[in-house]
Structure formats: structure tokens, C-alpha cells
Chains A and B, each alone.
Chain A
Amino acid sequence: MSVRTLEVDGKMITAMEGQTIFSAAWDSGIHLPRLCHLGGLSDVGACRLCLVEIEGQKKLQPSCLTKIAENMVVRTNTPALQAHRKLIVELLFAERNHICSVCVLNGACELQDLAAELGVDHIRLKPQYPKLTVDLSHARFGLDHNRCILCTRCVRVCDEVEGAHTWDVAGRGRNSSIIADLGEPWGESASCTSCGKCVQVCPTGALFSKGKTVAEMRKDRSFLRYIVTAREKKLWIA
């Protein structure tokens, strides 16, 4: 592995060959917004928030999937990119029923933080108010589809780290939803090990621990640090 030098937002940074733009920038203190990426999980490039401009390339590229190259010139924070990010966050808020004031994760939600960071103080789009369900069949956890942004972190952590593949996506487009096994209530899932990883990786209050009231829940950050390196260290085998 050799070291590469590149320019991000006018700043020269160094990174290891094979690193993605996202992680190289993050290591150098340039924090790109993201909702689907999570260290330790595979990347799907679905949220489109970490898109960046790369000099010499016509199309915007997802920084979580694009590898760095020597002398690459990357811009992460142009007005056009910010406008796109703002609109994406607005689209998410309009898509389902995100009512922060009654959410267990109020004050610690990645979507909420992102909205604040991008200056989204109102939604210019028509809220869709879909009629969605809440699955409380599991003894310890709950799934509120109203707050789900379909980032698929839960699907990936369950498959790639826990190895259970309880979660997957059913339906398509706006009718997509996270399902347990073949669409059973979560509590009846035969494959779920109740490990709770999905709850900790969920960026919103869609997956939550029971027994918390409004704004009381906090995701366990040390747990997230654990899964980042769990695979390399084979922590789940011991």
C-alpha cells in the first residue's frame, strides 16, 4: 500500500491507495454527509448525499464508492452539491411521517442533524403522509416504518456482521419496505437472533429499543465502533 496525495476542497491531503474519497476526506477532517454509508458495512451508494465533484469527470460520483487517485481534485461542498443535498433531505422528510416531536430519537437522529446542518428549516415539497405500520411484535425492539428512510444499514449489518439476514427490502419504489424474513412480524422471525445490531446502526428512530419515551433513546456509539472492526478482528467468533 502506497501513499497518495490529492486535493479536497483546496486542501492537500494524503491517503492510502485503495481508500475511498469519503474515508480519506473524513480522516482529514472533512466530514461528508451520509445516511447509507457506515464504516464496517459494504457500501451501496444509495443515499446520494456524499456525491462529490471530481475535476475532469462530468458526472458527480459517490465518494463512498470512488477510490482516491494521485493528484485527484475533489470538491465536496459546492453550492450545487449543497442544493442537491438539501433537496434530498427535504424529499426524505416529505416521503414518510417524520414527526420529531414524538420520536424516541429526537435530538440524536442523523436525519435531524443533517437537516440542521444543511439549514433545512422548512419543507418545500408536498408531504405524502403514507399510511404505514409499526411492528412491536419483538420483545425488546420496535420497527416504525413511518421513520424509515430505506438506507438498508439494518439489512447489511444483519447479513454481513451478524450473519442472520433477517432483514431485506420488499416492494419497489415508494412502496419499498423493510421486512423480517418473508414478511413475518419481527417477533415471529425464525432467523432473528435479537442481537440488536440493526437498532444501533439505524440512523433514525425507525428501529428502536422498547421502554424509551420521546427523545430518550440514544444509539450506542461504542457499539458502532465495535462493528467497524468486528470483521477484521473476528470478534464474533471468540
Chain B
Amino acid sequence: MTAEVLNQTSQAERERQHKLKDRILCCTVAGCLSAGAEAVRTALQEEVQAQGRSSEIEVCGTGCMGLCCRGPLVRSSAADVVYAEVKPQDARALVNGDQSHFEERVIRPDHPFYAGQRRIILANSGKADPELVVDYLAMGGYQSLLRAATEMVPEEIIAEVKKSGLRGRGGAGYPTGLKWELVARHPSPVRYVICNADEGDPGAFMNRSVLEGDPHRVLEGMAIAGRAVGAQQGYIYARGESPLAIARVKTAIEQARREGLLGGRVFDSTFHFQIDVRIGAGAYVCGEETALIASIEGKRGQPVPRPPYPPESGLWGRPTLINNVETFANIPTIIEKGGDWFASIGAKASPGTKVFALAGRVMRTGLVEVPIGTPLRTILFDLGGGVPAGYEFKAAQTGGPAGGCIPAEYLDLPMDYDSLTRIGTMMGSGGLIVMDTSSCMVDVARFFMEFCMDESCGKCIPCRAGTVQMHDILARMTRGEGHESDFAMLEALSGLLKETSLCGLGLAAPNPVLSTLRHFRNEYDAHVRDRRCPAGSCRIPVATEASA
């Protein structure tokens, strides 16, 4: 594809869409599909056909519109509203634009859930069909790659990314531009780009939704990265547990290849870039970069000690750039609008937006994208609608099993990398699990420790055996069998894991325990001293005279 063809194709598609009376977009991401979106889409298509309006109304799919708890979601672009909990029998009213039929199921852009959001990564969701490459082109897609491949030299691309201040969205927050530079400066003739899509935190579905809802954005970001660091081959390491994401990405790669947006001589330049998908077999530890590389190489998915870091020696011993899905998804917009524009959004030390997956005890669960530095209160109460009536907010877990919790006293804390680290948790990849007064924090710590215990690869002793012992102690506490001396052992084991484990999984495994001990020591004491669970969720046998 040449620049001319790209512009013509996208312009033609924009004009075609503009002429339509309405474009009805049904969410086709896993959450809404499981709520019956496919049947709704079929009903809508049949209704349009029955009314004989196929030429003026188009029904197609789209990416995640966020309000997953009220799916299936359908958006009418003419009316600019989202209809929630749509059933096949609503098809006629929806096609006719009869909003009164939907009553409180009509969600307008000024709804608190949407009003507080700022969308960069999710910009195309609700607007473009992830399975149609022309839709992405109509939204201005691949224009950034065109610029990167034909107008910019690699140093300029890296300079732009550095200027943007973008930090790794996988959780650690390493400056993306610096990482790119490390790979680009390496003298090796062969380099690789890897997209880490091995999203495995409990309650997290940001990356999966992006891949399912806007796969071309990730491909474009990867190709730009390939151009910047001098790589010709990219890999997307996706989880086998998200077959839809894999299918969408594979379709997108095929479309991009056919259109000449990937492959040899992109936009008639000298730039070649291939992307292939590698599928993980479900080990959480394969999200750790060295284990991920081992897995792509066909080896047992377990980490190896760093250094050397992947930018120096990664896939097949070559310098390798590994970024998260969301990091790549930011790149096309940064190239399009410039690093300075991006740096002006969000917090100063961590610019841009962050997608969070709201889950747990919150009224509106789903995906939200907000500027980094938005206070937790805004996300949970304005966007999320607060905790269920009759309960009080207790804490929110960020960073999954490697992170920690944010108690109520820090509700006004800005959600940025450094503020979160300061209070003993981390940004993580975007999982946000809300807990209220019905959640027991000791049990939460036990749950995450069980997760780490099951997901430890078994290579290093502290993680393999230490997580078992820590889980054992926490499980005993939740059964009301804890002992005062357990605290000292929990702390000793936490220290051991944090200081001696081989990879990030073991190093971070004690975090949920340390964080809950720091903020909710009283709950631990209640379990151990009074044999009582303040939240009432642990089944502790009532002490009798004989057993007390």
C-alpha cells in the first residue's frame, strides 16, 4: 500500500460511513459476547433486512465500551448513545431509534461513567469494527506507521517517545523511550520486538479487551517500534486462555499483510516487519520477560536471572524489546499527535492515560480509561458508582498478586506510579479489585498467596517452598488457628522472598501480605487473638468453654 492508496481508502470509507443514516455497533468482546451479544447482533441484522434498510443502516461489531456489567452493549452512532442490557427483542426499537423503549437503559456520553474518562487506547471502541481493517483506516489508522516508515528516521521516533514520557504499562513503569534506545543502540544485526500479552492477574482484562477490540492499534504500535529499534520480526505472546483475542489478532495480521501494512517493504519503504503470534500454555510466570522469552524459544517457561536484560540479550540471545499491549497501543497516538501533546496529559512524572479493569465490590464493573493521576475516589465513586448499598468501601487492590491494597484513608491519592509505590502497592497492569466491609483482608492475602503458590515455577527455593509456608500460615489464620508467633515467621518469610527470589513473581509475592499487615493489622489480630473474623467471611468455629 502506498501513502496515496492509504489516504484514498480511508477517505472513501469515511465518506461511505458518513452517508449512512445510522451505524449500529454491537460490542463483540468476550464480556458482552458471554451476555448474548451475538444473538443481539443477528437480531439487529435481521431487523434491518426486514425493514429493507440495508443500504442506509449498517450493523457491525466493535471493541469494549467499558460498562461490562450492563452488557450486551450496543451503540448507535447517529444518536451517539449506548444501549445497555440489549436483548434480541429490542432490535426493532433500536433500529428505529426509539430511545423511550429503553428507559434507563440509554446511556449518554455525559453519563458519569463516560464523562470522567479520557480515551486514547480505547479511542476506537464503540466506533470501529475490530474485524475490518478499513474501519481502522477510516479512524486514521496506520497514518503514524506511514510517517514512521517514510518520513522519520529511527532516532526521531525514539526522541518522540522519550519526549512523551510514556512509561511501561505492564506495571513496573520503566521509561519506554529509554528501553527502545537500549535496543536500538545494540550493535547486533538482528533484533526482536515482543508484545507481552500474557495478562494473568486475577480480575484483569485490559490487554485482552484491547487485543479483541482494536488489534490493529497494537500491530501498528509494534511496527513503529520495529522501525525505531531496527527489528524485522515481532512476536505477540498471547494467552491460550483468550482464544478470541488470538483469533482477532491473527485476522488483523492477515489483513495487514494483505494490504501491505506489514511484511516486506511497508509503504514502499525499505522497512520490513513481520508479526507472528505465539501462544502461552497458561503459566502466569510466563508474563515475566525472561520466562516469556524461554517460552517463545520452545523451552520450559521459567525465568533466568537478569542481567543480562533482554535489550542486551533476549530472544535467541539477540537484543529484544519487550513491551506490554497497552504500551504499544499508545504509540500510534504519540507519533500522530506528538510527544509534547502526550506529556501534557495525566501526571507529570507519569503522563498519559491508564486503562483500569474495575472488578469486585463496585456497582459498575468494566473497563475505564482515565488520565494517570486521577484520584482513586473519582474512579471508584464517580465512574464506578461506589460500593453496593449497605456496605462501606474498605480497600482496593492494584497490581494483582504482586501489588498491594489501598485503604480508605488514601482514597484521594492520585493513581500514578510513584504515589502508589510510596504507600506499598504498585500501578500494575491495571487490575483494580474493590473490597468493601464484607471482604476479609486476611482472606484476601491468603487468596493472592495461594495464587502465587500455584503459579510459582518451582525453580528457586524461596518462591517454591516459601509461598507454600506463607499460604499455610495465612490459611491457618483464616480458620482461626493462627498463633502469635506466626507473625514473626510471616515477616521472616516475606523478607526472604523479597530479597532472595530469582524473579519478580517471588520478589513481589509477599506484597499483598505486607500491605494488608500494614493497613489492616487489626483484622489479623482479631483472627489470631480473638479467633474472630471482623468481616464475617471466614468460617471460624465458635470457641466453646472446652476449646477456648
Q: Which residues of A contact B (CB under 8 A)?
A: 44-48, 51, 59-60, 62, 65, 80, 83-84, 87-88, 91-92, 94-95, 124-126, 128, 149-150, 168-169, 171-176
Contacts and interface: CB of A to CB of B under 8 A. Distances in A.
Given A88-B496, A91-B469, A95-B468, A125 B489 contact: yes
Given A173-B457, A173-B458, A176-B458, A125 B469 contact: yes
Nearest to A61: B305
Contact of B493 (A87, A92, A128): A87
B465 A91 contact: yes
B461 A84 contact: no
Given A48-B460, A174-B465, 4 more contacts: A48-B501, A59-B499, A84-B496, A174-B464
A172 B502 contact: no
A46 B469 contact: no
Given A83-B492, A84-B496, A150 B462 contact: no
Instruction: Name the residue in B458, B465, B469 with the highest tally of chain A Cβ atoms < 10 Å from its Cβ.
Output: B465
B475 to A, nearest CB: 10
A169 B465 contact: no
A89 to B, nearest CB: 9
Overall SS of chain B's interface: helix
B118 to A, nearest CB: 36
A172 B469 contact: no
Interface of B: 283, 285, 300, 304-305, 453-462, 464-469, 472, 489, 492-493, 495-496, 499-502
A94 B456 contact: no
A128 B283 contact: no
Contact of A91 (B285, B456, B466): B466
Instruction: Name the residue in B456, B460, B502 with the highest tally of chain A Cβ atoms < 10 Å from its Cβ.
Output: B460
A173 B472 contact: no
B453 A173 contact: yes
Contacts of A126: 469, 472
Contacts of A51: 499-500
6 contacts: A44-B304, A48-B460, A48-B500, A149-B461, A150-B459, A176-B464
Contact of A169 (B458, B489, B492, B493): B458
Contacts of A44: 304, 459
A150 B464 CA distance: 10
A168 B469 CA distance: 26
A48 B304 CA distance: 13
Instruction: Name the residue in A125, A126, A171, A176 with the highest tally of chain B Cβ atoms < 10 Å from its Cβ.
Output: A125
Nearest to A130: B468
Nearest to A85: B500
A47 B493 CA distance: 15
B465 A95 contact: yes
B503 to A, nearest CB: 10
Given A60-B500, A88-B496, A124-B489, A172 B457 contact: yes
Nearest to A176: B458
Instruction: Name the residue in B305, B493, B495 with the highest tally of chain A Cβ atoms < 10 Å from its Cβ.
Output: B305
A65 B462 contact: no
Instruction: Name the residue in B458, B466, B495, B502 with the highest tally of chain A Cβ atoms < 10 Å from its Cβ.
Output: B458
A175 B465 CA distance: 10
A227 B305 CA distance: 24
A209 B496 CA distance: 35
Contacts of B456: 172-174
A213 to B, nearest CB: 29
B499 A46 contact: no
Given A45-B305, A46-B461, A88-B461, A174 B468 contact: yes
